[in-house]
Structure 1
């Protein structure tokens, strides 16, 4: 059986490289279990680990197929879905910014009564367990469709988004920001669009919320000291390593999310948000796009052999040459400058509304 499965996996890899075929159909024909998907994912990651676009396309394929099998399993147990729904991704997956390894961030929106939540929570739980089996770690913050907070009807989601923005606490705005970096992977894309439009309407009516959102991400973990040295972790198991996510990625991601909210952009990816910015309105902000692309490539280069999700965001200084360290410091400094410019812009414009 193992030999047969291995030949199946190899067959997919060969077909995947052909120029014209329905790749989804080929995958459906061969991958029929979570174990098959896990094996195929592990093999394919090696071939796309240095290309950001191909890597994230692979993640999408893997998650779609996993969700499809989960849907089939739940349907056999509970019948067809009782209402139209959307399964959507958030976090780095929602932004199409996953590295070689990633954790789970996903939710479900359904267009039906609250009584339907039982079915979709069952589906969300199956998807969560399946993705963990395939190779995506569970989210520590439980931002998964197995959690009732992230699996609701359109009406429930509308009320929750309104409550998050009305409360405007640190935690509620964190939840809202997480939700906003989202895209539908399976199902009705209009459901998510409708919810984002509702959020834009609330923000336009209460511009003070933009400033609260700025405050929510105002703290940036410093990666460079006053003497220009990189600041690695000093204690614990990560001693000697730079936290790439907090020190370097967050300033770029948070800045473009703030501008996307202000300009009512639906696109979730940081790169798409950069491209959608008006060059006349944001002439200096757009200059940081190349820095972000460099950062994505930097992470792929140094973290393509990460053994687990936590390692994806850690770079030990011992692994960097002097040139590498200078490059990393440059990317950090550009991120700090970008956030500083974005903050000043948001405060200036939103304070006058």
Structure 2
């Protein structure tokens, strides 16, 4: 983080970190609290280690981390992770068409496990299929790896559609309350039916008219394999976003030893800081670092079923037709399948 970015961050949340000095002790400077909180996120060091490094008490370090994360969530959410509008969705869709060759796309969606230390009285609530304890980060990402919608805090054991279906995003898309633009024709293909705007996800998600997943099975036609490739290519946006997030904030490579409610706030703060610091010139370097370290944020599995409505299947068929037509094909797709 550059000094200018640090100063801007301090100007945004500094008042929330300020405390009154007393006759017994001077209050910790907001800048030092911010430095401690960012160091915890960026290094993944334990609170005890940070206390020694900064010559502060462990409780002071603990409070500083919580204060910084809460201040970021409170003071920066509206600016760096706002609720999408119809214009926002159109901007995201334009970005996916230009950079990932997928039209009418509202974003790439995926879920990741954030590993935590098992809270004592919770039994197996946070126990997931990877045999670790975790909470789930569900994210919708745009073409530039920016988080547009996140849902944090579901128990690691939840599966079979629970994470997505129970999220504000899932319910909002189902009830059509998220200001999604109306259906429109695909670029250069007015002869095809108007199609709704859709999210793209992997096979763990259910097929919906507004959520595309790959065709299942091995013995697919060439046209269906083309569709799966194009969808998988667009999905790289969310995988890369998670990679950049974990590369910049090494806390995601560790087992977080905080109360689950505080972990929720920490993850939201990290996502907001990700948007705040996002720079195209640094993305590839961070992705290369994460590739060397290996991905430690395990994907969520078994979130959706295989049954889908006829409408959803028809939408996928039209996309498949488009990607195999002169208007929607790309020159390299036949080599990739």
The answer to whether the superposition gives a TM-score over 0.5 is: no
Give the alignment's TM-score, normalised by structure 1: 0.25
Which has a greater percent of helix? 1
Give the alignment's TM-score, normalised by structure 2: 0.26
Higher relative contact order (CA 8 A, sep 6+): 2
